[in-house]
Amino acid sequence: MSGNENKNKFVYFFGDKGAEGNASMKDLLGGKGANLAEMSSLGVPVPPGFTISTEACALYQKDKKTLDKIWGEVLNNLSRLEKVTGKKFGSESENPAPLLVSVRSGAAISMPGMMDTILNVGLNDSTVQVLASLTQNRRFAYDAYRRLIQMFGDVVMGVEHALFENILEQARETRGVEYDYQLLPEDLELVISKYKELVKKETGKEFPQDVMVQLRMAVEAVFNSWNNERAIAYRKIHNITGLKGTAVNVQSMVFGNMGDDSGTGVCFTRSPSTGENKFYGEFLVNAQGEDVVAGIRTPEPVEKLKEKMPLIYEELVSIARKLESHFRDMQDIEFTIENGKLFILQSRTGKRTAAAALKIAIDMVNEELISKEEAVLRVQPEQLDQLLHKQFDRVALEKARALARGLPASPGAAVGRIVFDAETAVEKAKEGEKVILVRTETSPEDISGMSAASGILTSRGGMTSHAAVVARGMGKCCVAGCQDAAINEDEKTLKFSSDPEGRVFKEGDFLSIDGSTGRVYEGELPTVDPELTGDFKTLMEWADSFRRLNVRTNADTPHDSKRAVEFGAEGIGLCRTEHMFFEGKRIVAVREMILAETPEEREKALNKILPFQRDDFVGIFMAMEDRPVTIRLLDPPLHEFLPSTEHEIKEVASEMNVSEQKLRSKVEALKEFNPMLGHRGCRLGITFPEITRMQSRAIFEAALIASEKLGRQVKPEIMVPLVGNVNEFVNQKKVIDETADAVFREKGKSIPYLVGTMIEVPRAALTADEIAQEAEFFSFGTNDLTQMTMGFSRDDAGKFLPHYIESGILHADPFATLDTNGVGKLVEMGVKLGRKSRPNLKVGICGEHGGDPASIEFCHKAGLDYVSCSPFRVPIARLAAAQAALKEK
């Protein structure tokens, strides 16, 4: 209750199975302080301490003398702490033992950039000796002391961190050891004296031996860190306002290495890997957390504690139950036993595998611990991906050593023989071989090979390169941009610069690639098939009942369409037609169309493509039945359909029976400086209306055929790409409508259809009111919209984007997660202006972002009708859409 607030109270005690604060007082006590108070109130034995409130910090910012005014209250609480712990701050004897405390900052919102933690406050040249003798462990005591000096020197006194590390490194070198824990007590004594000299030299002041001065300086440093440059920048960037300041938590230190009645460990209230409702964990006797991290000793399963300290075990289990039912989620608990007394250092929601997340959420609903809404909110959408794809066997994976690591471009595990070109991939696949297609980068001509392969490995290109996008669309495992892979496509060899053995892989050798982690392995690793258990189905049904957004899929083939429907897709949001142009014989006709010199010649070539396109669409309509199918007219620049190298030109020219010269000069003429902004999208359909006419005809004829076969009407929605100006749309809509009229007249029957547009050019979003007067639906093509709004070429951004993300200029890859501040603003404008002209305008999104949970939440808020994503992301999108709706409530 914030009713607990008291104008004259600035310090809140916790511990001794009670607390003056509670979880609701985050504003006043910070997140950490409120949580410690909550646990104390629950009767959980946290190491006692007290929290100096954020209000004190706020007053301090106005007037530094605030610290004087509240110091009496701090000392009262320190006395209380001494009483509760039976120790004394600065005690130079073993009885009472010296009290050591940690000093930590903690605002209502966790905030990097502020001072974090100083441990072991209360140690000085005298108390350290007492600690050594109490613990019978000089190494431990000196190490604790040198840590205090280092942390205090760095964050309170401003001595550069690296200077301390230099001294430590020197000590390790002198002793000839690799790790800090290998230093002897005498080494650490020397380090301590050098640390003290360093502090003196750098600051002109001694490291304070007076423990009260330590405490006061530490508290002051926390207050000051609230307004340091980094913290201010962080709040600005993340738009954090309205906070009073940071609280300061002063908490007694406890040590698990005080003897055989001491120890430390970690436990989970349920299994984090399977979700089984079973207490689980490990511990070490007479040790501190670090020993676990350093890997010096192997921890024991927590069940052993039952034998060694049965009472403590019982207490721990009961606390774990209490914490789980209090926080209503599986807890990850850190505990320390100091001289036979159990302390809970931390309890937080435990991380878990996807399978565990599902099981725990559903079990907890069955246990009536949480509601269905909460269960749906508990599972991270991204995690579902683990459940949908083949994975490597976990045990085998732990033993395997990766040859190299690329980008996890499309999840799943794939094993197969190496091939270096698409044709061989197709051939070998026909022979029943599993193959991994290895290419420097892929191009649209590789589509059939990619489709035939079990997995794809490229050495160039990012998360949105051709290989990555197409593979995700196919649900095919892909590792992209594996820079360590040296691929020689001519000689058909593959080497990894990261491979110490420098092996040379040839066509036919086995490779295993993990598209979920980006790792590449030699040979054949065993795989495990995905299992869409009852838990999965149950949770998805709950999710569906909560979401408002519809979820469609991006699919270009009947096969993908069927799979997407199985995954719950409610329609197709983007059916690209260009992939269809590459298959088999039709590419020849496509090239004839491009080489045509008159509209008549072009039409003749297009007439050859028409039956293929029609069959494609019939297949897709049949798969989708009466679900809406949004088909995008031809989008890429025509040069993508022509060969590019001299060698290919020769080959294709002879295939097509045209002169190399003619083909070469067409290739030359179609070259563009910036093809992304060139002659593509509706610009093609406007300059060559024959193309739009052929595609529309194929769609309408297919729709009539499929409707007849199905006995119900299919729902074609024709989408004009790259519109930036309403006049472009009007031009294309006219061609489409005229074609519809003609087909319906010829066939003597008709079918309803919609004509809409992609919104992917910034100008389209800016003039959405004009466009919506003519267009019946919008679909935000956020891939291109991001490229143009940010001025980033997706194919070239690799030269600076990684640096941008590392250095914090960007917080995320804008091609993976929608840039809501910039691109999102255009989406919002587009929706608002569009609906102003046409209130019932159907609006969706079909870029890569349609499968990204954060972006889906944005789409929900922006009022979109649907998102569309690759088949394998449909469940993720369904869950993310449900969470967005639930969060809004």
Report helix, strand and coil shares of the chain as percent, to nearest 5.
50, 15, 35
- Which CB, 506 or 671, lies closer to a second copy? 671
In the set 396, 742, 766, 886, which binds a second copy (CB under 8 A)? 766
Smallest distance from the beta carbon of 520 to a second copy, in angstroms?
A: 24
Say whether 477 is catalytic: no
Judged by CB under 8 A, the chain residues 535 through 594 that form the site for a second copy are: none
- Which CB, 296 or 809, lies closer to a second copy? 809
Rounded Cα distance, 407 and 471, in Å: 13
Site for a second copy contains 731 (CB under 8 A) = yes
Q: How many CB atoms lie within 10 A of CB 325?
A: 14
Smallest distance from the beta carbon of 675 to a second copy, in angstroms?
A: 7
Smallest distance from the beta carbon of 724 to a second copy, in angstroms?
A: 5
Say whether 466 is catalytic: yes
Q: Which pair of structure tokens corresponds to residue 180?
A: 């800090």
Nearest to 774 by CA among 830, 728, 814: 728
293 to 322: interface string for a second copy, x by CB under 8 A: ------------------------------
In the set 324, 535, 592, 784, which binds a second copy (CB under 8 A)? 784
Judged by CB under 8 A, the chain residues 797 through 816 that form the site for a second copy are: 797, 799-800, 803-804, 807-810
- Which CB, 589 or 726, lies closer to a second copy? 726
Omega before residue 185 within 30° of 0, cis? no
Site for a second copy contains 774 (CB under 8 A) = no
Angle between helices 54-62 and 66-85 (to 10 degrees): 150
Rounded Cα distance, 677 and 671, in Å: 12
Q: Which of 482, 846, 859, 869 is catalytic?
A: 846
In the set 52, 360, 761, 869, which binds a second copy (CB under 8 A)? 761
Judged by CB under 8 A, the chain residues 221 through 280 that form the site for a second copy are: 237
Rounded Cα distance, 379 and 325, in Å: 18
- Which CB, 454 or 767, lies closer to a second copy? 767
Judged by CB under 8 A, the chain residues 707 through 726 that form the site for a second copy are: 722, 724-725
| C-alpha triplet 414, 815, 683: angle, nearest 5° | 105
Rounded Cα distance, 561 and 553, in Å: 8
In the set 154, 701, 728, 865, which binds a second copy (CB under 8 A)? 728
- Which CB, 537 or 811, lies closer to a second copy? 811
Spell 22-33 as b/e; 16+ CB within 10 A means b.
bbebbbbbbbbb
DSSP 83-102: HHHT-EET--SSSSPEE-EE
Smallest distance from the beta carbon of 605 to a second copy, in angstroms?
A: 19
In the set 565, 826, 877, 879, which binds a second copy (CB under 8 A)? 826
Q: H/E element holding 680?
A: none
Q: Do 440 and 460 meet the contact criterion of CB atoms below 8 Å apart?
A: yes
Site for a second copy contains 216 (CB under 8 A) = no
In the set 112, 500, 791, 839, which binds a second copy (CB under 8 A)? 791
Smallest distance from the beta carbon of 831 to a second copy, in angstroms?
A: 15
Q: Which CA distances in Å does 880 have to 105, 536, 788, 857? A: 33, 14, 27, 7
Nearest to 753 by CA among 629, 612, 573, 574: 629
316 Cβ neighbours under 8 A, 6+ residues apart: 267, 302, 305, 333, 335, 342
779 Cβ neighbours under 8 A, 6+ residues apart: 573, 574, 630, 719, 756, 757, 758, 759, 843, 844, 845, 846, 868
- Which CB, 93 or 821, lies closer to a second copy? 821
Smallest distance from the beta carbon of 702 to a second copy, in angstroms?
A: 29
Rounded Cα distance, 635 and 683, in Å: 9
In the set 24, 448, 493, 793, which binds a second copy (CB under 8 A)? 793
- Outline where 334-380 has alpha helix (H): 354-366, 372-378
- Using the rule CB under 8 A, give the single segment among 378-386, 615-623, 784-792, 858-866 that binds a second copy: 784-792
Rounded Cα distance, 836 and 828, in Å: 12
| Bridge partner residues of 349 (DSSP) | 331
Rounded Cα distance, 870 and 403, in Å: 29
Site for a second copy contains 446 (CB under 8 A) = no
Site for a second copy contains 821 (CB under 8 A) = yes
In the set 492, 763, 835, 861, which binds a second copy (CB under 8 A)? 763
- Which CB, 1 or 669, lies closer to a second copy? 669
Q: How many CB atoms lie within 10 A of CB 668?
A: 9
Site for a second copy contains 832 (CB under 8 A) = no
Nearest to 844 by CA among 574, 488, 516, 545: 574
Site for a second copy contains 789 (CB under 8 A) = yes
- Which CB, 550 or 786, lies closer to a second copy? 786
Judged by CB under 8 A, the chain residues 458 through 487 that form the site for a second copy are: none
In the set 100, 788, 818, 876, which binds a second copy (CB under 8 A)? 788
- Which CB, 237 or 294, lies closer to a second copy? 237
Smallest distance from the beta carbon of 483 to a second copy, in angstroms?
A: 13
Nearest to 779 by CA among 628, 606, 557, 615: 628
Longest dimension (CA), the chain: 103
Q: Which of 57, 267, 466, 477 is catalytic?
A: 466
Rounded Cα distance, 516 and 523, in Å: 18
First to last CA, the chain: 23
Q: With CB under 8 A, what is the number of residues at the site for a second copy?
A: 50
In the set 451, 550, 557, 767, which binds a second copy (CB under 8 A)? 767
664 to 703: interface string for a second copy, x by CB under 8 A: --------xxxxxxxx---x--xx----------------
Smallest distance from the beta carbon of 764 to a second copy, in angstroms?
A: 9
- Which CB, 362 or 485, lies closer to a second copy? 485
Angle between helices 26-41 and 54-62 (to 10 degrees): 150
- Which CB, 780 or 792, lies closer to a second copy? 792
Q: What residues are labeled active site?
A: 466, 846
**Contacts to a second copy by CB under 8 A:** 237, 672-679, 683, 686-687, 722, 724-725, 727-728, 731, 760-763, 766-767, 770, 784, 787-793, 795-797, 799-800, 803-804, 807-810, 819, 821-823, 825-826
